[in-house]
Structure 1
Amino acid sequence: MKLIHSLFLLAGFSLIAACQSSQANTMVLLDANIKEVNISPSMGTGDINQEVIFSFRDAQSVEVWETAITTAVKQSSEVINTSPDYDIVVEYEEGYPAHAMHLWLGQENKKSTLMYLVEEDGPYLTSALLTNQLRELLEQAE
């Protein structure tokens, strides 16, 4: 009986460790309701362009942006030699601080790159499917 109990504990700890490891390798947002996602043409890394060209407030669009961000997987540190395409500011309800990041929008069926405004250790990649969804949102907003 102790053996079975020990095996269940070991399995539980392994599951918790795997979840924490996975979470550490993806981008994070606050656990709060997102009010809107604002998009600006980027003027380079390290700063956010305040000239918003697209603002997404509807639940479906916000969910696509949130999924793209929170599922983007951290890559090894590497220098990106081009300027980002867009700046993203995720604004929350109830006055929580906003999240600012850069987006290098991938071509159709290719991955996109996201990076926090102040990044110490490497970019994050979305899936090609999410790149397609982001491209569609941006095209519809034009």
Structure 2
Amino acid sequence: MRTVILVVSFVGMLILVGCLSRTAETMVLLDEKVSEVKISKSNGFGGMNEDIMQSYTDAESIKTFKNAITTAQKQIGHVDVSDPEYDVMVEYTSAEEGQLPTHGIHLWLGKKNEKSMFMYIDDDEVYLTSVKNTQKLRLLIQ
């Protein structure tokens, strides 16, 4: 009986540790150098507005966008959202120009002290940024 209790306790601890150590899923970009990030007003879900309003090629701005995107955490379950505010196009540099796709992402830019929301084009999963990343994005997107 004592052995059964020990085994059940051990299995219970493993399950608990597994649940606690599970990290939230985040957005991913290619493992390539980002050469440019372009922003446009969104025309709605599923497509990219190619009428660019801002373009960023400097290292600091690219770093800000990469960090905001790759640390945004996936939200569990269905989230009802309005049409996106912005389209974000992440472009990469490669040894063979033109070989890498552009990452298309919808963005809902949060207000002061709010989180922002990202969604891959042609997807329905929502990822939330931190409030700190929203503040940095707000400084770039005017």
Q: TM-score range by the shorter chain?
A: 0.7 to 0.9
Name the CA distance, whole Å, in 2 between partners of 1:82 and 1:127: 20
* Partner in structure 2 of residue 76 of structure 1: 76
C-alpha contact 1:41 1:87 (8 A) present in aligned 2: yes
Higher normalized helix content (fraction of residues) = 1
Name the CA distance, whole Å, in 1 between partners of 2:56 and 2:80: 27
Among 111, 134, 141, the residue aligned to 1:107: 111
* Partner in structure 2 of residue 130 of structure 1: 133
* Partner in structure 2 of residue 7 of structure 1: none
Name the CA distance, whole Å, in 2 between partners of 1:104 and 1:77: 18
- 1:80, distance to aligned residue in structure 2 (A): 2.8
Name the CA distance, whole Å, in 1 between partners of 2:121 and 2:127: 12
C-alpha contact 1:77 1:123 (8 A) present in aligned 2: no
* Partner in structure 1 of residue 51 of structure 2: 51
- 1:77, distance to aligned residue in structure 2 (A): 2.8
- 1:119, distance to aligned residue in structure 2 (A): 1.1
Query: Quick check: 1:29 aligned with 2:29?
Result: yes
Name the CA distance, whole Å, in 1 between partners of 2:70 and 2:87: 16
Name the CA distance, whole Å, in 2 between partners of 1:105 and 1:64: 14
* Partner in structure 2 of residue 10 of structure 1: none
Gaps of 5+ in 2: 1-16
TM-score by length of 2: 0.79
Gaps of 5+ in 1: 1-13
Residue identity over aligned pairs, in percent, reads 45
1:64-110 CA-partner distances (Å, limit 9, x unpaired): 00000000000013243311110001000013111001000000110
Structure number with bigger Rg: 2
C-alpha contact 1:27 1:71 (8 A) present in aligned 2: yes
TM-score by length of 1: 0.79
Name the CA distance, whole Å, in 2 between partners of 1:81 and 1:58: 31
Runs of 4+ aligned residues of structure 1 deviating over 3 Å after TM superposition are none
